[in-house]
Amino acid sequence: MTIRYPNGKVFQASSNSPSKKTGPTLYGNRGMSLEDDLHDSNMYYLHQGIAVVHKKPTPIQIVDVHYPKRSAAVIKEAYFKQASTTDFNGVYKGRYIDFEAKETKNKTSFPLQNFHEHQIQHMRQVVKQNGICFVILMFSLFNEVYLLPADKLFHYWDRKESGERKSITKQEVERDGYLIPQGYQPRIDYIKIIDTYY
């Protein structure tokens, strides 16, 4: 199946896409992806009455469907209706929450190419409206998950845009971000960090 962005470019799934699992991961979460862990954490928050946070659906326009059997349909071509913003949004204690989740196997830095200009613009707008906005970054080889506030991310993005470093060093993430406790329920307790930072 071919999926295209609004500008016509063909979508290429990233190597850390949940749909491209190549076997169990090394970080002790039974092969689940970061997004799976966040989904489970969000369901825990919802059922405990702590917060309401969901993954945003990606709007897709289907343009070509084949029917090899009467009871089956195969999507052959589709387009993203619009550029996606961030992965998750919701509400916590009366405030809007909006965040993106990314993971890397890189040991020393987090590549900024994992973000897109429209996502940064969206996050700036959320921050301007006093929303709680951040990114969750996972260094999968270390089993470390960090919450990096959006205003800190903007500094590194602007640095990249001015022609400097194209990544955030792990030391910078450790300094400007917050290591998120991992456990059973919730798996990734980012609300605990929100209570501290915001």
- Residue ranges at the known binding site for Mg(2+): 85, 87, 100, 119
How far apart, in whole angstroms, are the C-alpha atoms of residue 50 and residue 116? Answer: 30
- Cα 109 to Cα 26, 114, 171, distances in angstroms: 19, 12, 8
| Burial of residue 153 (number of CB atoms within 10 Å: 0-12, 13-18, 19+) | buried
Q: How many angstroms from the chain centroid is the CA of residue 40?
A: 14
Q: Which of 168, 192, 178 is nearest to 109 (CA)?
A: 168
| Annotated binding-site members | 85, 87, 100, 119
Instruction: Give the Cα-Cα-Cα angle 77, 83, 84 (nearest 5 degrees).
Output: 100
β-strand partners of 55: 88
Rg (CA), the chain: 18
β-strand partners of 88: 55, 99
Coil, helix or strand at residue 24: coil
The token pair that represents 93 in the structure block:
């204690």
